[in-house]
Structure 1
């Protein structure tokens, strides 16, 4: 499905945001996100953080209202905010080795709705300004989209299939992260959950990359070798002694350098063809000021991740084989 066959998708360059939407975009998100900055720093709170923490609170409210107009969306996202009570940390610790604890943790997570698990040390650059994380480890959980539902994006009042799948994966992330936190606490260690869709202290994509769950795509989202761009994330921080899983380079970054699929499919033309300097790192970056107005009006959008060739189940194995040859793997 693409812009030509999905009536809910305007062609690239033809979209013009409503004046009332632009009126709520009072400050450039690109500046706050650190575009052009040459020194590394922690990210600033932005969209989906509490409205008082950033300049787009009113716009964020409109985005949520628009997405909830889609059939089934309100129920899907409400489930993402439904979670069990966290248990106290057990008095007795599981004194198994780091290797054993890591294996048990991964096994538990995969048995409790996570589709992938990665582990890495907490880096201060993963923590948003104004927040603190004291645990030394972060566990990132991958929640895979249903491709047949995801490709229905964007949603509107006539079709909520795509945005409902987004809500469903966030709900899975909530359930799986809270279940894992309670398991870790039952083993005598500290742990705290960081699911979406609301943002908190932890930026999820950087540790997901460090932990081997994927590479950053041109569209600014994670590309997984197993799920393509059709994946959501949830995090857990802990002081349980674990073994890092390490990054996974399989060629997505190199592929994005020449692929133009998401760039062409993006109605507001927010996806640049080249990397940019962002907070001291040259990386793929999506123009916030172009993306967010359409995201708000199109009930969360999702076109770029749905159209990504890596997301297509029948294409992904061929891409992996091709890129492995190019990388000499």
Structure 2
């Protein structure tokens, strides 16, 4: 049963008013000046980072976005080797996952109960907006769309760095908010892909899946923002939450399909991976491409500027490219002390443990995949869930010196992380700003259920 995280409306308005008064009155500037005094004793490079100057560009430069898009966080570059994937410690063999064993697939197999199995088939589509985005993305889910024919004429690529710049710029041209290129981690590929949903529904896994064999060396990640204002107005698990996810999935899916087709036109193999047709797990790809770190929520990543408020798609390819490096913006220390996502998770699926533990050959905080999936597929209050995205302090807030300084401070160890989390709580972030930002209409009578729309149950 979900917790009720809807604060009293007057309390919400008071928090919002206090925030605005604080910022408008200039107290934010005063606090920031105090923080800058602390920063003043630090090296000049750190002081520049505190006021939002760009870090060194990762990998190949982009002409359209020539500086790092990390926001004010202090970002260092990490490594990818046999012991580390960025800031994720590898402690043993990381086995490839069968897609039939992922949360939504297990729900579809009936392993989480009948209600979750039915809900898995329609939970995104029960809201008119989510259904529109989902159904449009399905048009791009066919194999010819994600992995078409390669041109017989292969372009010679003498300079992988120049080509990487071109690929990033083309993705930005296609309206990506962030782009990264990584070496494809071998363990990021699914061992088997689900290709028969009907067989999956009767738990005939052997018939439902096909081995993944066509593995390529590079991965291009395209990332889009799920929209700040919508997130500020939502509860995180209301009617707009599913649509907000598929806004990102649809946008990145279109970009990835076009980008993969573009690369095939250059004479190289390229496959798009998006929410309706994956052959790989996205989080290790995101980390390898320098666009995030593993977070307290388990196998979800956080970006230093967008927080959880993003969705991605990928293109795997053998086009010669210059990979970016994984990044370290202090998230592991931050997640150790914050726990705001765990405190606010309506299903209680996110762990309160201080330290990550071993899971499948690497260290992570163990969220409960079954509990999370069951809540999202059976949520009676809305469509899916995104409460962790809603409350995470790494989500961008109003543009101000105050928030820039707070974000930079929060990327410098556990003591600083406590300060950022305390500031986030003090000014009521993670609560709803309905009057200011809510733009969508809700029609409870159209919120689909299997009883109302029996033909809706499809995935």
TM-score band w.r.t. shorter chain? 0.7 to 0.9
Against the structure 1 CA distance between its residues 228 and 304, is the aligned structure 2 distance closer, same or farther, given a 3 Å change threshold? same
Question: CA separation of 1:187/1:49 partners in 2, compared to 1, >3 Å: closer, same or farther?
Answer: farther
1:128 matched residue in structure 2: 190
Aligned residue number for residue 4 of structure 1: 6
1:27 paired residue number: none
* Counterpart contact for 2:109–2:117, Cα < 8 Å: no
* Distance in 1 of aligned mates of 2:350 and 2:171: 34
Distance 1:50 1:89, change over 3 A: farther
| Cα distance in 1 for residues equivalent to 2:330 and 2:274 | 28
Contact kept, 8 Å, 2:294 with 2:301, in 1: the verdict is yes
Q: By how many angstroms is 1:310 displaced?
A: 0.6
1:47 partnered with 2:49:
no
Deviation at 1:118, TM superposition (A): 1.4
Q: Kindly report the root-mean-square deviation, in angstroms, between the aligned alpha carbons of the 2 structures.
A: 2.8
Equivalent residue in structure 1 for 2:218, among 125, 133, 137: 137
In structure 1, what is the Cα distance between the partners aligned to 2:8 and 2:136?
A: 28
In structure 1, the partner of 2:230 is 149
The farther-off stretch of 98-107 and 314-323 is: 314-323
Shift of 1:121: 1.6
105 and 316 in structure 1: CA distance in 2 versus 1, 3 angstrom threshold? farther
Contact 1:263 1:269 in 2 (8 A): yes
CA distance change for structure 1 residues 92 and 214 in 2, over 3 Å: closer, same or farther?
same
C-alpha distance in 1, partners of 2:191/2:262? Answer: 29
2:170 pairs with 1:114? no
Q: CA deviation at 1:139?
A: 1.0
What are the within-5 Å matches in structure 2 for residues 195-210 of structure 1? 195-196=274-275, 198=276, 200-210=278-288
1:233 deviates by 1.2
Instruction: Confirm or deny that 1:105 pairs with 2:183.
Output: no
> Per the alignment, do residues 125 and 142 of structure 1 end up closer, same or farther by CA in structure 2, a change over 3 Å counting?
same
Query: Structure 1 pair 120/257, CA: closer, same or farther in 2 (3 Å)?
Result: same
CA distance in 2, matches of 1:168, 1:239: 29
Cα distance change of structure 1 residues 60 and 192 upon mapping to structure 2, 3 Å threshold: farther
Query: Based on CA coordinates, which of the two structures has the bigger radius of gyration?
Result: 2
- After the TM superposition, which of the residue ranges 38-47 and 261-270 deviates more from structure 2? 38-47
Q: Which residue of 2 aligns with 1:254?
A: 333
1:309 aligned counterpart, secondary structure:
coil
Point out the more displaced range, 311-320 or 166-175.
Answer: 311-320
Q: 1:51 to 1:322 in 2, by over 3 A?
A: closer
- Secondary structure of the structure 2 residue equivalent to 1:235: strand
Question: Superposed, which structure 2 residues align to 1:313-324 within 5 Å?
Answer: 313-314=397-398, 317-324=404-411
Once the two structures are superposed, residues 167-198 of structure 1 have per-residue CA deviations (whole angstroms, 9 ceiling, x without a partner) of 111100110000100111111111001011x3
Which sections of structure 1, spanning at least 5 residues, go unmatched?
8-36
After superposition, the Cα gap between the structure-2 partners of 1:229 and 1:51, relative to the gap in structure 1 and judged at 3 Å, is closer
- Does the CA contact (< 8 Å) of 2:108 and 2:120 recur in 1? no
For the structure 1 residues 6 and 87, does the alpha-carbon distance in structure 2 shift closer, same or farther, using more than 3 Å as the test?
Answer: farther
Matched, 1:68 2:125: yes
Q: Provide closer, same or farther for how the CA distance between residues 53 and 125 of structure 1 changes in structure 2, counting only shifts above 3 A.
A: farther
User: Paired residue for 1:292?
Assistant: 373
**CA spacing shift, 1:326–1:264, aligned 2, 3 Å:** closer
The 1:177–1:147 alpha-carbon spacing in structure 2 relative to 1, beyond 3 Å, is same
The answer to whether the Cα contact below 8 Å between 1:81 and 1:174 also exists between their aligned partners in 2 is no
Aligned equivalents of 2:113, 2:280: Cα separation in 1:
19
The answer as to whether partners of 1:251 and 1:324 remain within 8 angstroms in 2 is: yes
Q: How many residues align?
A: 294
Distance (Å, rounded) in 2 between the aligned partners of 1:112 and 1:50 = 34
Residue 90 (structure 1) aligned with residue 147 (structure 2): no
Q: Between 78-87 and 163-172, report the one with greater CA deviation.
A: 78-87
Q: Normalized against structure 2, the TM-score is what?
A: 0.59
Unaligned segments of structure 2, at least 5 residues: 10-90, 193-211, 417-459
